[in-house]
Structure formats: structure tokens, C-alpha cells
Structure 1
Amino acid sequence: MRSTVLALGTSPAGSNDWSDMGYLKRRTLALAAVAAASSVLLASCAGDGEGDAGTADGAGGRSVTVNVGGLLYGPYDSVIPSLMQEEGLFEAAGEELGLDITANYQFFPTGAQVIQGMTGGTLDIGDMGTTPLVGLVSQGQDVVPLHVSTGKLRFLVVVRKGSEFRNMDDLRGKRIGLTVGTDQEAFLDNIAKYHLGESSAKDTFTLVNLQTPTQAASMPEGVDAAVTVSTAYLTAHEDLGTEALVNSYGTTEAYYSGSEGDGAGLTLEGATDSSYHPEAFLAHRGFWVMGAEMFADDPDVATAWMVAQQRALSQVNDMAAEEAASRLSDVLELDDEQGAAVLEDDLLRSRGFIWTTRGDALSLHLATLDKVEAGQIDEPLDWQQTVDLFTRAAAASEAAFDATGGAATSDDFTNDAEDLRGLPSWQSGEWPAPAE
């Protein structure tokens, strides 16, 4: 079919107030109400633009202002920066390195606002998925991936309660809502490719551009189905009856009925053929990324950030999932049971460390190959380019690894796990090239 992308909705705002997250549940109506505030808020929190590279040493150390842009929907990339902000972990890690850090935090519903901040110089550190990072790199933007922020978020294809559409073949040619240019589209591309045997989502469905996963989960008028994530789906299922068909883990959800059978937990045809196996249709990763200018001026800021992130992760993973999930209640309006289920899915829960591995680099390399095949970018990153990208922060990562007492062993990097991993970035000389 002819490639088609339609648009619905308006651009939502960012927020730096963790107590004011009610608009997430109020969905599409509230998005329009807060849209105009986004650029104003971003500018007001960011001060004079690019973060202060540092002033002369004073009593508190070298002064550095760092503007941070986070995302709301990933469980660990919601919980960890909120804990860092609450307990001043970034600032404390900076003091250990002779830095007097002032951190300004903002949090956004989608990666688009983070990208805008990074490219516009109003953010110094930003959280983004693989797809936005590929977009930045392919456009020649100079950014430095620091470490993994989240992973294995459950992406879902959903339909309305009582829908006649029960599987992906039913949805061929239908209108599917998602945020174009994000990992939502990458997931649907891989469903089209590996499960349906098509070239891309655009050539299989009519894509309707929505603004956030929450808007998608609410199934707005004008779509037959949507792509969302578990953090948004759980409340939509409870409040609106939204039903899920399939997920990015390569299995069916409860409303599914197709050639594999009926109900949840069935392996979808094509899931084990994916380049991302054992992660099926999407090796989802989020990355915290630093602007190249700040990184070049003072890589110790990157080290302090990673020390704080790893310490926060260790605190969260020492909690029972239900206890950690209570921190999600104000952010995502999930109850503790729902939040615990989301947290248990997260890559950082099972790994216990933030450090970038060969598998994380491979996930991005494979994503660029897929995007060339889908006609979304002109050239992929070859393996050496990918290695070079992910090893720019290798020395800072190793310094943070050492400062946190290791926080992982060699076995943690290389054991047989249900995710793509491998040796960390500071051992990239031992990364084998993938078979092409």
C-alpha cells in the first residue's frame, strides 16, 4: 500500500515538578491545554542555554550548571532521576570529583522535546531511545552516549474494547496511531518485517502520528489500533477497557486471536527470526546522552553523572519491587502492583548495572540497518562507527565503575541472559564484529 502518515494531536509540555503529573492520566484533552508552555518552560529552566562549562575553583569546587532532560514513561528512567533529584546524588558525586554541580531537571512525555533541547543547546544531558539517537547521529549531531537508562520496556499494539481486530493480519491497511520517529515505530516496523513479511510499517498500515504513549493508549478517534507502552497501557486498560494484542517480546497478549491460537503468552510467528533475538521484535534501549561540548570541556561531569546513576540504581534494586513502584505512583499514576510489574520488566532490574555493553551497541547498529531498509535514513552506522560512538565515554564510564565499587562482575556482563549484553565499553577492543 502507499506509505501514509497522518497526524493527530498537539505537542505536550515538559515539567520539572514531579507532583504535577495528573495530565498523564487526563490524556489527550490535557495535552492541548499544556502545549503552549513547552518552549517557555524549557527556556526558563535552562538559563542561558548551553550548560556552564565551569568557573574557577571556589570553596565548593569548580562550578558547573547541568541541564537535564528526562522522560516520563520508562520505569527506571523515571524512578532513578527522581531519586537523584530528591537526594542530591549527582551533586554529591560531583563534590567527590571537585565539582560544584547545579543540576536543573526537566521531564518530558516524549523524546521529541529532549531532542529539541539537545540540538538547541538548552539541555546538556538527555534521555532518549535508540530511534531518536539514530536520528541525531545520522544528521551529524555531535552527542556522546554515556550509558543505558532503561531497556526492555514492553511495547504493545492495542485496540478498543470489543474491537473486531484480533491480530496483526486483521490490521493490514488500517489506521494505527503512534509517535512517528520513535521506538514505537521501530517496534511496528519489526512486526511488519518479521511477523507479516513486509518491508516496513508505513507500507503495511496507515500510520497516524500521535503525541504520547498515553494518547495512543486512550485510542483517540481516527485510529483503529495504536502502539503504546506498558506504563500507559495499564491505566488505559483499567479505565477505558483498552485491549492488547501483541508485545515487543514476541508474544501475544490476552485479546489476541490468530493462527497461533487465542490468548496471552503464545510465541508469534517470526519472533525468533528477528535480528534482535533473544529480544524478539525490539531490543529496546534508552540512553543518557551528553552534549559533546560539555563532555569535551569536562568529562568529570559525565563520570559524576554515572556514579550518581549507578548509586541510585543500586538503591532502587535493593528495594522490593512494590516498594520501588511506590515511587512511580506520582509519576505514572500506577498502583504498586502495576508499577511492580513494569519495574520487573526493566532491563536495569535484571542487570543491576547501567554500563553500556557490546549488546547495547549492537542493538543500535542493527537499528540503523533496519532503518536503511525501511527508507528512513540513507546510510547505516557500520560496526566500527558504532563502536567509536559508544566508546567516546569509555574512560569516564570505567572511572565511574571503579568509583562505585564495580557494581558488576565480569560474569554479569557475559552470562547467558535474556537480553543482548557483553563486555562493557572500556573493553571494546574485545568486542567481536557482528556477522553481516
Structure 2
Amino acid sequence: MSDREIEDLLRRLAPRVLGTLVRRHGQFDACEDAVQEALLAASVQWPAEGVPKEPAGWLVTVAGRRLTDQWRSESARRQRELTVSVEPAPDEDLTRHVDDTLKLLFLCCHPELSAPSQVALTLRAVGGLTTAEIASAFLVPESTMAQRISRAKQKIKGLGFPDSPERLPTVLHVLYLIFNEGYNASSGADLQRVELTEEAIRLTREVHTLVPEDGEVAGLLALMLLTDARRATRTAPDGALVPLAEQDRSRWDRARIEEGVALITRTLAESPPGPYQLQAAIAAIHDEAPSTEETDWAQILILYKIMDRMAPNPMVTLSRAIATAMVRGPRAGLDLLAELDVDKRVASHYRLDAVRAHLLDLAGEHEQARVHYRRAAKRTFSLPEREYLMRKASG
């Protein structure tokens, strides 16, 4: 096995091992330190000596011994045991590692934590990203992110593993937030942060492996794949934003589109539709259309109407307004937007002005469109989006 393959294997195993240790011993911080030492030992020994027959058990055993040594303060024994090859203890229950990954996600997404803390702790404990990497992705100082993660760990200390499957929607929401921040960064000079989208997809694949029968998990994974398939065409060589209608569809990632379409087709046939599945179905329609003009906007509008009834959300209404305009004309879309002017969740959001400007442009009211493009540009913290909106305002 190559060094890169070993690195990938360790990355996949890390959350399972951490989950097992936290389930057994609690003390999140101490378990995380022990896992990091076990991973370090593996990265040194495995390339030279070969990967053990049960790599997860190897890591659990080494990390468990590290914890024991730490608590006994026997530094000499710790050094000795971390540098010898080990196999799983005879009573090691390897079948629980996969379940523990999901439980670890539940723990990181504990309702006592704020959404930003849930995201940060998930990326650190389950995703394996360093504090510096997470801080860089969210454009905050490393010290600030370290404090956020530390506070989150302290808050969940002693709470134990949550077992209720009712927590799964929270886990999916956190993964959705991670993906969205990566695909459309809320601030900064870059439109996309690939490390976040890739990590969100990887973690969602893990959850799908754990609960393959759950339709919304499959729907979220399909949505991510179908959306990320357009990544390469969303920006020009100079980093400028390229809207969907102007993207070179021949450059979209066909492998991800095929995987996403197959996944959403299968899950819609096997389980009741949920919001993530509906969004994935919409993304599939966009991805399979030869052009914007040939897109089945009528079908998209039907799906958005269902979403608006199932899970009312101002952002869904914004998208529904665009679909309405494509089917019934821009004035019908603008009438729908008027409902959001009194919605405090979105009334001052730049997307409302951006969509209104787009529909006014379609209606031929170009001067009014420029007003809203400029207003939207002032309200966004994303530099690529701001520059795109200002170009539209001056066009």
C-alpha cells in the first residue's frame, strides 16, 4: 500500500477510532489527543512494516494504551507501547466502529452547540481538518477558531453519546452548511473553498454508508454531487463569477452527474421525498439540460412548490420566484418576491435584491434593475459576487 493510500485510510479510520474511545472513556480532549498519537505512530510504522490485518483495531488499541499511560503518568511505558506493532485486543468489537462514527457526528452536532460550533467541531473531530485549516476556510484567526472548538468540547463534556436517530436531521444540516460555505463562500476573495465541499461530500458518503436506507441522506449526497459537478465552470480564469446560464456545460463533471442522477432516481423510488431529495431532483434537471432555455422549468417549478409546502423557507421562495418567471414571465416572479419584503429573515439579504434585479432585467425595467444590483452588491461580503453584481449594475 502506498503512502498516499495509507494516509487516506487513516483519514477514514480516525473518526471511527475517536468515536469508539469517546464511547468507552468519555473525556473528548484526552481521547482526541490519544487518537492523534496513534495516527502518528501508524503513519511511521505502517509504510515500513505493512498495514495490520485489522487497522481500526490497531489504532483503537494503541490509542487506548496511550490513554491508560497518560492517566498513569508512565511516560516510559507510553513511548515503548506506541512504537511496537500491535493487533486488536481479543475482545475488540470491530463491528461497532462504523456505528461510532455516526454517534460521533451526533455528538459534534449536539443541540446545546450553536451552528458555527457544530460545524467547527465536526470538521475538527470527524473531518480531521486542523484548527488552522478550519480557521482559514472561515476567514477567522486561528486563535478565535481554537477558542470556539475548545468551548464546544467543554460544553459537550460529560454529555455522553446521543443515540436518538432524531438527531440525524441536525447532522445533515451541518453537512449541508459545510458544503454551502465551500461552494458559495459567504465572504472573502474566493467564490469557492474546495476543501470544504470535498470534506462535506466525503462525510456525507460516510453517513450514507452507515444508513443507506435513509432517503434524505441519499438525497443530500446526490445534491452535493450534482451541484459540485459544475464547480470548474463557475469562475473565469481571473476568478470572476460565471452564472449558470453562461457556463460551459461540456466541462461539467459527467461522472458526478451520473452518480448523482442514479442516486436520486433510486432513492425517490424507494422512500418518501424530503427537502434534500427534492433539491437533488431540481439539480438533476439543471445538470441534464443542454442549455438554460431547454431546461424543464415547469417541472422545477412544481418541485419548488412542493418544497415550499413541505419546508417553507425564504430561500426556497427566492428560487421558486426565478422558476415562476421562467414559466409564467418575470412579472409573476416579481409578484412572488413581494411576499418576502416583510420577511425579516431575508428582507435585508443581498439575494433578495439580486433576484429582484435579475427579474426586473428580464421584464425590461433596466434602470430599476441597476438600483437593486447596486444594493445587492453593497450587502454581500463575497468579493466575486460583489464584482459580478457591480458589472451587472453598470451593464
Shorter-chain TM-score tier:
under 0.3
Counting helix residues as a fraction of each chain, which structure ranks higher? 2
Higher Rg:
2
TM-score of the two chains, using structure 1 as the length reference: 0.25
